[in-house]
Chains A and B, each alone.
Chain A
C-alpha cells in the first residue's frame, strides 16, 4: 500500500517536471555547456606534472553528474515548496497517505530525474571519446553513485522546502550549492592545488569527495577507497538531510 502511494507520488513528481520543458532542458544543457567551457579552457592543465589524465574532458566529466543532481534537486524541491504554498500538501495530509510516504514519493521522483540526466551526461561523454576506465560495470556503479548523490542533495532540498514552504527560499539554495561546487576539486586535483587555504577548503568540502568518486570511475578505474568515500559522504549527507526533512515534515503536519 505504502509502496503504491510512494510510486504514485513519485510518478506525479516526474510527470510534473517533464511537463515543464525548462525544467527538463536546463539541467541537461547547462552542465554540458559548463563542461564544454571548462574542457576547452582548461585543457592546458593536463600539461601540469602529476595531472592524472591526458583528457581534461574525462577529468571534468564528473562535474555534470554532481551539478545535474543539484539542478534536479532545486527544480523538484521548488515544485515541492509550491505544493506546500498552494495547500496541496495539506489536502494530501487529510487522506490516508502516511506522512513519510509524501517524502519518499518526492525523493523518488527527483532521483528518477537525476538518473535520466546522468545517463544523458554519460552518453555525451562517451560520444566525445571518453572511455570509462572501470568499464561497463563502472557505468552501472556510476548510476548507483548518482542515485546516492541525488538522494543526498534531495533530502537537504526537501528539508529546505518543508522548513520554509517557500519557492524563493529553495531557489536561494542554488547559489549555496554552487559555491560548494566551485570551492571543491572540480577543476583541479586536490594534490595540485597550489594555495594551501584553497586545498584545505576543498578537503573539508564534502562535494570534493562526491566529484572524486565519480571521477575515479571515469579516469582511474575501481579505486575502492575513493568510491567508498563518495558513497560514505553521500550516505552521511542523506542521513542528516533525511532526519532534518522528516522532522520538518512532522512539524508542518502538526501545524496543519
Chain B
C-alpha cells in the first residue's frame, strides 16, 4: 500500500507540476470551459423564452451545470493525453521499470486529473457567480452537484487512461475525446429533455449523461431529481472504466 501511494504521489506531483507550470496546458484547460459557458449563456439565453422552458434558476445556472460536468469529463480525458505523451517520450517505460507497484501509476494520474478539474471548476464557478448565476439549492445540494462532477472526472480519467495504455500514442487523442464529446452533446445540453424532439430525444433518453445532467440541474435549482440514478450511473462508470484502465495497464506491461 505504501509503495502504491508513493508511486501515486510521485506521478501526480509530476503531472501537476507540468500542468501548472506550462501555459500551453493550463490556459486551454481553463479557457475552454469558460468559453463554452460564455458562448452558451451569452448567445443562447433567449432560449428560456421558448414555450415549455421552465428552469427555475435561469439559463445561466442551467448551462453552468453542463459546463461543470463537461469540464470534469475533459479534465479526465486530457490526463489521458499526458499518458500517451509519456509513452511516446519513453518516460512511461522508465516509470514502469522503476515503480514498485504499478497500480500507483493509475492512482497518480487519476488524482492529478482530480486536482486539474478542481482548479478549472473553481475558476468556472467564480465566473458564473460573477455573472450573477442564481442558485436555488442549499449546501447539501451543491455538494451533490460537485460530487457528481467529481465522479464524472474520475470516470473520464479512467476511460482515457485505458485508451492511452492500449494505444500508447498521441494519435489516440480522438479516440479518447470523441466518445466523451458525443456522450456529452447527445444529452439535453441546450434545453431540458422534454423540449427535445425527434431522434435526439430518443438518444438523450438512453444516454447515461442525461441522468447526471438532470440530477445536476436538480441540485442547482434546489429541486433534486434522479439523484440515486445519477450517482448509481456515475459509480457504475467508475467501476467499469477502472477495470478498463487496469486491463489497459496490464496490456501496456505485457507490451514492454
Do chains A and B stick together as partners?
yes
Also in contact, A48 and B43, with CB within 8 A (given A41-B189, A41-B190): no
Also in contact, A26 and B50, with CB within 8 A (given A33-B182, A198-B42): no
Also in contact, A42 and B190, with CB within 8 A (given A182-B39, A194-B45, A198-B43): yes
Interface residues in B168-193 (C-beta closer than 8 Å to A): 174, 182, 185-186, 188-191
Also in contact, A41 and B53, with CB within 8 A (given A33-B182, A195-B43): no
A43 contacts chain B at the CB level, 8 A cutoff: yes
What's the dominant secondary structure at chain B's contact region? helix
A188 contacts chain B at the CB level, 8 A cutoff: yes
Partner of A195, one of B42, B191, B195, B196: B42
Are B189 and A179 touching (Cβ within 8 A)? no
In the bound complex, how far is the Cα of B101 from the Cα of A147, in angstroms?
Answer: 57
B181 to A, closest residue via Cβ: A33
Are B186 and A45 touching (Cβ within 8 A)? no
Are B188 and A41 touching (Cβ within 8 A)? yes
In the bound complex, how far is the Cα of B38 from the Cα of A41, in angstroms?
Answer: 18
B22 contacts chain A at the CB level, 8 A cutoff: no
Q: How far is the CB of A169 from chain B (nearest CB, A)?
A: 11
Q: How far is the CB of A162 from chain B (nearest CB, A)?
A: 22
B188 to A, closest residue via Cβ: A41
Q: How far is the CB of B204 from chain A (nearest CB, A)?
A: 8
- Chain A residues with CB under 8 A of B53: 44
- Chain A residues with CB under 8 A of B139: none
B49 contacts chain A at the CB level, 8 A cutoff: yes
Q: How far is the CB of B59 from chain A (nearest CB, A)?
A: 9
A81 contacts chain B at the CB level, 8 A cutoff: no
In the bound complex, how far is the Cα of B63 from the Cα of A182, in angstroms?
Answer: 15
Q: How far is the CB of A156 from chain B (nearest CB, A)?
A: 20
Also in contact, A45 and B50, with CB within 8 A (given A37-B189, A198-B43): yes
- Chain A residues with CB under 8 A of B198: 40, 43
In the bound complex, how far is the Cα of B45 from the Cα of A202, in angstroms?
Answer: 14
Are B50 and A179 touching (Cβ within 8 A)? no
- Chain B residues with CB under 8 A of A182: 35-36, 39, 43
- Chain A residues with CB under 8 A of B38: 183, 198
Give 1 or 0 for each of B47-81: 1 = CB within 8 Å of chain A CB: 10111110000000000000000000000000000
Q: How far is the CB of B173 from chain A (nearest CB, A)?
A: 11
B32 contacts chain A at the CB level, 8 A cutoff: yes
Q: How far is the CB of B25 from chain A (nearest CB, A)?
A: 12
Also in contact, A187 and B43, with CB within 8 A (given A40-B198, A41-B191, A43-B198): yes
Interface residues in A13-54 (C-beta closer than 8 Å to B): 22, 26, 33-34, 36-37, 40-45, 47-48
B44 contacts chain A at the CB level, 8 A cutoff: yes
- Chain A residues with CB under 8 A of B36: 182
In the bound complex, how far is the Cα of B246 from the Cα of A10, in angstroms?
Answer: 47
Partner of B185, one of A37, A179, A192: A37
A193 contacts chain B at the CB level, 8 A cutoff: yes
Are A40 and B200 touching (Cβ within 8 A)? yes
A96 contacts chain B at the CB level, 8 A cutoff: no
- The contact sample of 13 A-B pairs, CB cut-off 8 A, is A37-B185, A40-B197, A41-B185, A41-B190, A41-B191, A42-B191, A43-B198, A44-B191, A44-B196, A182-B36, A188-B43, A195-B42, A197-B42
Q: What residues make up the interface of A, taking CB atoms closer than 8 Å to B?
A: 22, 26, 33-34, 36-37, 40-45, 47-48, 175, 179, 182-183, 187-188, 192-195, 197-198, 201-202
A45-B47, A182-B39 given. 14 additional CB < 8 A pairs?
A22-B174, A36-B200, A37-B185, A37-B186, A40-B201, A41-B189, A41-B191, A43-B197, A44-B190, A182-B36, A187-B44, A195-B45, A198-B38, A202-B43
